[in-house]
Amino acid sequence: MGIELEADFHLGVALGEKLDAIHSVLNKRDPKPNYLRLSRSGTGTSVVLDFGKPPANRIWNVLSIVSYGTDDHTSVTGGNMAWYVGDNANPPSLISMVDTGLAIPAGRTYSRDIMWCYPNENLIAVLTATGSQQLGANVIVAEWDIKDKW
């Protein structure tokens, strides 16, 4: 009477691969955004500044926006800034307005995960003043990979 023994090691290999995959997921670091500084300026009584839109598969979290005139401290007479996320019409549609009533110069910061600009939307600022003058704005955005954020 003979004894036959047959062993299969596929179970052990498959289990080891699953554990390695779980380990790599658990040890994955949190995704981090790229921080971008965007600046635009122009001259006139009404200046439309188009900061563009995020690249495909990316999304912008708008963190701050700052308006300025000829310098960083002199008030612009009749100065006002509004900014929009959406179409790139000149001027943009009121439906896409996100914030308004910012003096020139002035700045506004936003909490993280509040103001978003998607790949099909332009980020636009409209600055107005009494009399033609140099007007501009600086924006700081956190650029995320969409798959990392959602």
DSSP annotation of 57 reads T
Q: Average pLDDT in the 55-68 region?
A: 96
Judge whether 91 lies within some domain.
Answer: yes
Residues 129 and 69: their CA atoms lie apart, in Å, by: 9
Judge whether 93 lies within some domain.
Answer: yes
What pLDDT sits at residue 51? 97
What sign does the dihedral 75-127-115-94 (CA atoms) show? positive
Q: Are 38 and 138 in contact (CB under 8 A)?
A: yes
Residue 57 pLDDT level (bands cut at 50, 70, 90): very high
Judge whether 25 lies within some domain.
Answer: no
CATH number at residue 39: 2.60.120
Judge whether 15 lies within some domain.
Answer: no
Judge whether 66 lies within some domain.
Answer: yes
Q: Average pLDDT in the 70-77 region?
A: 92
Query: Residue 13: is its pLDDT beyond 90?
Result: no
Class of residue 93 by CB neighbours under 10 A (exposed 0-12, middle 13-18, buried 19+):
exposed
Q: What's the domain count of the chain?
A: 1
Domain around 145: 34-149
Judge whether 18 lies within some domain.
Answer: no
